Amino acid sequence: MSSQYQELCSKLTIRSFDPVGDLDDFMVWASDERVPIFCSWDAFKSKEEAIEYINQKLITHPYFKVICLNNRAIGAILLNFNQGNDRCRCEVGYVLGSQYWGKGIATWAVKTLVSTTFEERPELERIEAFVDVENVGSMKVLEKVGFAREGVLRKYFIIKGRVRDFVLFSFLRTDLP
């Protein structure tokens, strides 16, 4: 790991989302058309639209956190947990402002979250991720963290009105170093 990357990582944190204090920083990536190309949501056209979404979906979300650089929210990472017989697995999702792409920040965030989540949740055995087959950057993040590519789920999600193939990745508790 280069000392430059180590220095960058020392300024990164994952913390709870502050719907008021983080709103302007949230808008930077949430209103950027390039960011949700492979995601189910669309870029927000106004602050009002974003506030409505935050109030309806994010405030009540069980695990929506922000990725911060010097405590400024430059992206987000979330986990969707399951219940009952599915409680052994959860799904990770992440997003980063485009000006921060390609610096290893998402890799740091996913790696950090994987280790803390297995520590905090003894019932969890598997963290999974679903990635559009064309989302090369996201697949690279998961591969760098150590996720296994399990296969392609054909015609799996509808993204921006198109039925898309998705790659399923997983990281097991037993994959921890």
Alpha carbon 124 to its chain centroid, in Å, reads 18
140 binds ligand COA (CB under 6 A): yes
Nearest residue (CB) to ligand COA, 38 versus 118: 38
Nearer to ligand COA, 2 or 85 (CB): 2
Asked if 35 touches ligand COA (CB under 6 A), the answer is yes
Closest to ligand COA by CB, 39 vs 51, is 39
> In sequence order, what are the beta bridge partners of 89?
126
Q: Does 169 bind ligand COA (CB under 6 A)?
A: no
Number of neighbours of residue 65 by Cβ within 10 angstroms: 20
Determine, following the binding rule CB under 6 A, whether residue 117 of this chain makes contact with ligand COA.
Answer: no
Interface of this chain with ligand COA, residues 84 to 103, rule: CB under 6 A: 93-96, 101-103
DSSP alpha helix (H) spans, 121-163: 136-145
CA 31 to the chain's CA centroid: 17
Q: Taking CB under 6 A as the rule, does residue 167 contact ligand COA?
A: no
Cα–Cα distance measured from residue 29 to residue 36, given in angstroms and rounded to the nearest whole number: 9
Chain-centroid distance, C-alpha 164: 19
CB 126 within 8 A of CB 89: yes
CB of residue 46 to ligand COA, shortest distance in Å: 21
Q: Which residues bind ligand COA (CB under 6 A)?
A: 35, 38-39, 93-96, 101-107, 131, 135-138, 140-141
